[in-house]
Amino acid sequence: MSMKVEFFYDYVSVYSYLANSQLGNLTGAEIVYRPMFLGAVMEATGNRPPGTVKAKGRYLQADIRRWAERYSLTFKMNPLFPQNTLKASRLALVAQKRGAFEAVHQALFDAMWVYEKDLNDKELLAEIAAKAALSLEDIEDPEIKDELKANTNEACERGAFGAPTFFVGDQMFFGNDRFDFIKDAIRNA
């Protein structure tokens, strides 16, 4: 039986985009994708987006580009950042339930960080949904809304303060640069 690695993320988080590209390198692990609403996590924990600190914001631009280059990823800083990704995260949950997650998940990250799109745009989301044979109307299902809230609340209760956050058992890891520690946790489980 493989170890579970829970990946709490939001499509608005560039570091989640970066981390997502490396999940395939976690051998011996089952990845459990747990979309959450980062804005609510930040509010609940009193955290601030790093870009709101001027010096940190300047540094992050270089840091993100370094990581994207290291991971051989296409990356464009979305001029519409920050944006509301609530509907996008709900669409990911619908896709999980309908067996279409792979078709939707990467398309959402790419729309945000490769094609500089607005993930709150219903036409864009409807197009992504349709390509996966899904209906965008399903994001309004109370069960889907409740699941996103539950993921967000659980992340906070377990200690998350931002994205990406990973859990291997009870061990928490924050950031796209913690894969060595995650691999150790998997090996030592």
Q: Torsions phi, psi of 107, nearest 5? A: -60, -35
| Catalytic residue list contains 13 | yes
Task: Give dist(CA 107, CA 61) in Å, integer.
Answer: 23
d(CA 13, CA 64): 11
Catalytic residue among 13, 16, 21, 72: 13
Q: Give residue 77's region: left, alpha or beta (phi > 0; psi -120 to 50).
A: beta
Burial readout 26-58 (b: 16 or more C-beta within 10 A, e: otherwise): beebeeebbbbbbbbbbeeeeeebeeeeeeeee
State how far Cα 67 lies from the chain centre. 16
Catalytic site residues?
13
